[in-house]
Amino acid sequence: MLIGQLLKPFGYLTIKHPYKWVVDWLYPVLLAILSVVFLLTFHDIRKLIEPNELIPMMLSFVQSLPGFYIAALAAIATFGRADIDDILPEPTPKFVVKLRGHENTIDLTRRRFLAMLFAFLTGESIAIIFYCMALISFGAKIYSYSLTPYLPGPILFGICILVFFIAIYQMILATFWGLYYLGYKLQE
């Protein structure tokens, strides 16, 4: 039960909506693949973990984000307008809630959607921080290590970099989606 509660911020990814997967997965994966191909073509990928390179610079940027996401979450939770508690228009995002052993599908309000979004962004930014620290600490070993003859270290390291970019782009796109809702949709 405790693990389920600790992972609850990532429940945002289970919200059902016909277009949400595009923002959550399609665009981040496509942008990550393009970024890795670009880096493999024009940069020595092993150097990404060195000081003043991409991963340490992203780490220093992402470290400042959890506080901002938590502040946004607090603002959403205490926002005073009543219409923030109206159900989102069609196609309405839906979420499965377990209550007393029963699963119930509920339509999301703007407040609940935004709270789930910014809780997710807080959790994801913290996870990215730890992932960056692990890449910086163990990236050179991963690059020189071969898991199997079919998965040599450079390919394993490239997969780690791809996962990094997917998470970064997912966080960036979800942030802009949250800003869109806060800046424009709440005013309608």
Domains of the chain, by residue range, sit at 13-81+110-183
Question: Taking 90 as the threshold, does the pLDDT of residue 65 lie above it?
Answer: yes
The DSSP 8-state label assigned to residue 8 in this structure reads G
For CA atoms 31, 36, 37, 38, the dihedral sign is positive
Distance CA 5, CA 171 (A): 21
Residue 187 — pLDDT band, cuts 50, 70, 90? low
The answer to whether the beta carbons of residues 119 and 12 sit under 8 Å apart is yes
The answer to whether the beta carbons of residues 120 and 12 sit under 8 Å apart is yes
Q: What pLDDT is attached to residue 15? A: 94
Token code pair at residue 178: 């949250």
Question: Taking 80 as the threshold, does the pLDDT of residue 149 lie above it?
Answer: no
> For residue 145, what are the contacts with CB-CB under 8 A and spacing of at least 6?
153, 156
Q: What pLDDT is attached to residue 188? A: 63
- In this prediction the pTM is 0.90
